[in-house]
Amino acid sequence: MFVVFLLCIVFLVCPNKGEFKDHLTESAAACYKCQKYHLGLCYDIMKICTLKDQESCAVENVYFLTIRGRSMYYYSKLSCMRNCEDINLLNFDRRTELICCKNTNYCNLPEGV
């Protein structure tokens, strides 16, 4: 009788047919935040930001341009950004590449640079 009472409580408390697991695993995505990241090290204080509505993890790769016009990697900036879009900006002496993601936690670590 007590077991039936407990099962009724679980079904009343959990309106998703008693599936309490979905509520426990549901959480906000997290991203790294660092002003100057280079070769796997943060030369500032590495922080964590959680995504809010309409935000994505962002990595901003900064390259300087050589005399011959080639891009040389300089550093990255990691952050959470609102209304983020992937773009490439070209200036006279540097190139900035903005990459956005929100598919997994901590997806904004640069790869291959």
Per-residue pLDDT at 45: 93
**Whether pLDDT at 104 is above 70:** yes
Residue 84 has pLDDT above 80, yes or no: yes
The model's pLDDT over 12-68, given as tens digits with 9 standing for 90+, comes to 444 444 444 433 344 578 999 999 999 899 999 999 999 999 999 999 999 999 999
What is residue 110's predicted lDDT score, i.e. its pLDDT?
80
Structural domain harbouring 51 = 28-101
Q: Is the pLDDT of residue 97 over 90?
A: yes
16 inside domain: no
Q: How many CB atoms lie within 10 A of CB 35?
A: 15
The verdict on pTM exceeding 0.75 is no
Model pLDDT, residue 113:
54
Classify residue 37: in a domain, yes or no.
Answer: yes
In a domain, 38, yes or no: yes
- Comparing 23 with 1, which gets the higher pLDDT? 1
* Domain-embedded: residue 79: yes
- Whether residue 111 lies inside any domain: the answer is no
Q: Report yes or no on 86 lying in a domain.
A: yes
Residue 9 placed within a domain: no
Q: How many domains does the chain have?
A: 1
Higher-confidence position of 61 and 9:
61
pLDDT (0 to 100) of residue 27? 59
What pLDDT is attached to residue 72? 95
Q: With the CA atoms of 9, 10, 15 and 19 taken in that order, what torsion angle do they form, in degrees rounded to the nearest 10?
A: 180
How far apart are the C-alpha atoms of 5 and 7, rounded to whole Å? 5
Residue 3 covered by a domain: no
